[in-house]
Amino acid sequence: MSAPSLTPSKAGRPRHSQPPPAGPPSPGGSFGRSLKRNLTAHGFLIGAVLCFAFFSWYPMVREFFLAFQKTDQGEVSWVGLDNLRTVFNDPAFWQAWRNTLLFTVLALVFGFAVPFVVALVINELRHGKGYLRLLVYLPVMLPPVAAVLLFKYLYDPGYGLLNELFGSVGLPEQQWLQDPDLSMLSVVIASTWMNMGGAALIYLAALQGIPGELYEAAELDGAGLLRKIWHVTIPQTRLILSLMLLMQIIATMQVFVEPFLLTGGAGPEGSTTTVVYLIYQYAFNFNDYGAAAALGLLLLVLLAGFSAAYVKLSRAEDE
Amino acid sequence: MRSARFRRTRRAGAITLVSALTLTALAACGTSSSDDGGGSEGGSGSSDPAAPLDPKTKVTITIDCMPPAAKAAELKEWKEDVKAFNERYPNVTIDGRSTPGQCLEPPRFTAMLKAKSQPDVFYTYFTDLPQVLDNDGAEDITAYVNEKTVPALKDIDPSVLGSLEHENKLYGLPESNYTMGLLINRKLFEQAGLDPDSPPRTWDEVRTAARKISGLGEGIAGFGEYSAGNTGGWHFTAQMYSLGGEVVDASGKKAAFDDELGKQVAENLHAMRWEDESMGKTQLLKWGDLQKQIATDKLGMFLAAPDDITYMVQQLGADYENFGMGPIPGEKNTLAGGNGYMIKEGISPDKIKAAVAWLNFKNLTVGRGQFDWARKKKDDLPVGLPQPNFWLNESKRRDDAARIEHATMPVENFKTFMDNPVPGKAEPPKAQEVYKVLDNVMSGILTNEDADVGQLLSTAEQQVDQVLATQ
């Protein structure tokens, strides 16, 4: 069987081929009429627009200019591409990008798949769904710093619970956060545990919106569990999965708190230095706000590129 | 004709009058500009900068870092000092400016320099000098500081005074200094059968002692080192200095640690961590982590400055009695720092003289001001820590004796450190950026048993060269 398309049929789309009938001219034109009709709505919008303007858009615009300026507190001077040169010449620059990409890939493998599987399991349960939902969501309610410090104790090579467990079943102790080969993976596992509750609930909501008859039809066709997931669940949740994928890429590329608290930022031999940690170093250790803004701009451009590519791909698919 | 003559005469009179008024005004401007922003208000100071301040001179000087109300005992002492100073200089008004928290927060300090809004006498870290000079912030006080104005001048450690000099010109006077030494936990030393009154003096002795202390078990580490948050690089630098090495060469443009001494530092640490297992399993530590370990009797030794002990006692509830200090092992050089006061560029000579007189009274006189240990003891402030101590010769002998006499802690615990001063050496240029790179060397050594020491140093050297090239 094929999954029903989620795009509205052409027949159902509003037609705009005919121009609207010309009415009597009004002083404000159609914009004025629309404004008057939606006055209350616009009133409500103003607050949000002002908040976004002051706290989101203005800092973004300011950052753009800052990337080409040198600021010595009160004094600002234009330095062209000097800040970008500083950033490119930093020995940690490429390592930070490699680490960030590694974190993103690992976070997608773990952070994307695990919550989806958890949501599938909860969705299949007949009893205790509510309790399990609560249990899965519990870590999200912990303050991030507390959750990270909890993992720091778990991972401690001297007296950590994880090595105790390994020892009790005869496995060799590991240097979790202190081994350059394991450090990033350990950070990803902690991060996944902290954040999976929210993602799992979103997947669960999407799963519960799938009509039961589709599964019944699939069962009549002789589909087993895996085939049902492949042919019904995934196509039905495709849009939410794509959206979560994009959001996860954007969020994981800005990772900072977990490596900063677990490994002191850079990690063994710089193995957990991320791009945002480097921005933090420029801004708050070296007081070089221009270089911090330049690196932030590079990250912004990359993430904007991801978003644009995603929007284009999803549009092409819809059409 | 007559009227024309009369007009000419009138014009000549007017010109004479205007000229006279203009000259008077110019003369007045000259007087005022030579005073440059308010010099003496009614005094008649000597024009010789080397002469001490005439007590009749009337000036007001603003001074940074008066203790805030929250530091009641320190504020009381400040007020007492102002009163005592005014008995000698009744016409000098000391206008103290107090800041909550620490005296110098770098962003606020930079902004103040840019805006030229620093007080007449402003507080600086030794490492601030280049920034202050770049901003034309400090007066060259070489001519004002001599044995008449600062009688104990010859007894101030030249390496401390040198931190406030540039191209043979003096730009400030010190208030406090620190040098790194080896901080020990006396209780663990005794338990391990070591003599806490005789801390290790070489890195080999440190290694032997660390093995014995970690042999106590229960997760106790013999020796601890940082390797995160740029503090690893900072301590690698201190260890290099201790062996007579450099991190950046004299030109300030090239890294200088990928050599035999660099390898010695790195290999010694690697061996202590992995062969002796005397440095504990938990690494990637940064400032504060080792203090917690030693305060809770989980660590035997680490490199520190004496003010770390104050932090451990006041913030972590440890006891002064449990700690001791020896000089930095190796003893060739030690990483040094400190703070002092500079005098704002452009203020009048009388104000400069008043500032020097105040700084001499408050910070540079044995037995007075900040060195009045008897009063500190009475006011329940700590007495007996080895630093600040920038004295030499007779001043050192007198100050050390007074510290011992009024000590509120066992000063003999710091005897080895005090009796064996190691020459101080300032931090390298672009210190934080250099330390960031060197963190990788330290974390590599301490977290990777198979670390290739040569490779770590060589990569770091290339990276530091790159950092220094973009100065």
A46 contacts: CB under 8 Å, gap ≥ 6: none
- The chain A residue lying nearest B106, using CA atoms, is A287
Query: Do B284 and A72 make contact, defined as CB atoms within 8 angstroms?
Result: no
Which residue, among B318, B321, B311, B292, has the nearest Cα to B226 in the 3D structure? B292
Judged against a pLDDT cut of 70, whether residue A25 lies above it is answered with no
Highest mean pLDDT among A122-136, A201-215, B243-257, B420-434: B243-257
Is the pLDDT confidence value at B354 over 80? Answer: yes
* Chosen CATH of A99-273 out of 3.40.50.360, 1.10.3720.10, 1.10.1070.11, 2.60.40.3140: 1.10.3720.10
Mind listing the pLDDT tens digit for each residue in A196-232?
888 898 999 888 888 888 888 988 888 888 888 888 9
Q: Which range has the worst mean pLDDT, A158-162, B196-200, B235-239, B327-331?
A: A158-162
Domain coordinates in residue numbering, chain B? 59-179+337-406, 181-333+423-469
Q: State whether B110 and A157 contact (CB < 8 Å).
A: no
Query: Which candidate in B118, B128, B214, B433 is best for mutational testing of the A interface (most A CBs within 10 A)?
Result: B433
pLDDT given at position A96? 94
Residue A319 banded pLDDT, cuts 50, 70, 90: low
Task: Give every CB contact of residue B356 below 8 A, 6+ residues apart in sequence.
Answer: B53, B141, B144, B145, B149, B150, B173, B343
Whether A3 shows a pLDDT value over 60: the answer reads no
Average pLDDT over residues B314-335: 93
Task: Write the residue in B106, B432, B444 that is nearest to A268 by C-beta.
Answer: B444
Mean model confidence pLDDT for chain A: 83
pLDDT at A29: 65
Query: Is the pLDDT assigned to residue A284 strictly greater than 90?
Result: no
User: Beta strands of B345-431 (E only): which ranges?
Assistant: 424-425
Interchain proximity A158–B282, CB inside 8 Å = yes
How far does the CA of residue B279 sit from the closest CA of chain A (Å)?
A: 11
Cβ distance B282 to A266 less than 8 Å, yes or no, reads: no
Q: Is A267 on the interface with B (CB under 8 A)?
A: yes
pLDDT score recorded for residue B351 = 95
Give yes or no for a contact between A66 and A293, defined as CB atoms under 8 angstroms apart.
Answer: yes
Which chain B residues are closer than 8 Å to A281 by Cβ? Answer: 436
Which of B115, B219, B230 is closest, CB to CB, to A285?
A: B230
Contacts of B463 in chain A (CB under 8 A): 91
Contact criterion met (CB < 8 Å) for B466 and A91: yes
b/e code A278-294 from CB counts within 10 Å (16+ = b):
bbebbbeebbbbbbbbb
φ, ψ of residue B255 in degrees (nearest 5)? -70, 155
The answer to whether residue A113 scores a pLDDT higher than 90 is no
- Which class is B59-179+337-406 in CATH? alpha beta
All residues at 6 or more sequence positions from A20 whose CB lies less than 8 Å from its CB, including other chains:
none
Whether B265 shows a pLDDT value over 70: the answer reads yes
In this predicted structure, the answer to whether residue A246 has a pLDDT above a threshold of 80 is yes
Q: In angstroms, rounded to a whole number, what is the distance separating the alpha carbons of residues A106 and A260?
A: 18
State the DSSP string of B117-144.
---SEEEEEGGGHHHHHHTT-B---GGG
What token pair was written down for B78?
Answer: 């400040």
How confident is the model over B45-66, as a mean pLDDT?
87
**Do the Cβ atoms of A178 and A152 come closer than 8 Å?**
no
Global pTM reads: 0.77
Residues of A in contact with B447 (CB under 8 A): 175, 178-180, 268-269
A18 or A297, higher pLDDT: A297
Q: Is B181-333+423-469 a domain of CATH 1.10.10.10?
A: no
Delimit the domains of chain A by residue range.
99-273
Interchain contact, A91 vs B470, CB within 8 Å: no
The token pair that represents B76 in the structure block: 């009381």
Average confidence (pLDDT) over A76-93: 88
pLDDT band, very low/low/confident/very high, at B91 (cuts 50, 70, 90): very high
Q: Rounded to whole angstroms, how far apart are CA atoms A179 and B281?
A: 12
Residue A172: half-sphere exposure toward Cβ, Cα within 13 Å: 2
Give which of A269, A277, A281, A285 to mutate to test B binding, by max B Cβ within 10 Å: A269
A11 band by pLDDT with thresholds 50, 70 and 90: very low
Is residue B65 a contact partner of residue B98, using CB atoms and an 8 Å limit? Answer: yes
Q: Does A175 touch chain B (CB under 8 A)?
A: yes
Residues 6+ apart with CB under 8 A from B458: B258
- Provide the mean pLDDT of chain B: 88
Q: What percent of chain B shows pLDDT beyond 70?
A: 90
Judge if B59-179+337-406 and B181-333+423-469 fold alike in CATH terms.
yes
In 3D space, the residue among A299, A304, A264 whose CA is nearest the CA of residue A281 turns out to be: A264
Task: Flag the least confident range among A37-41, B57-61, B420-424.
Answer: A37-41
B283 and chain A in contact, CB less than 8 A: yes
pLDDT number for residue B323:
96
Identify the residue with better confidence: A136 or B138.
Answer: B138
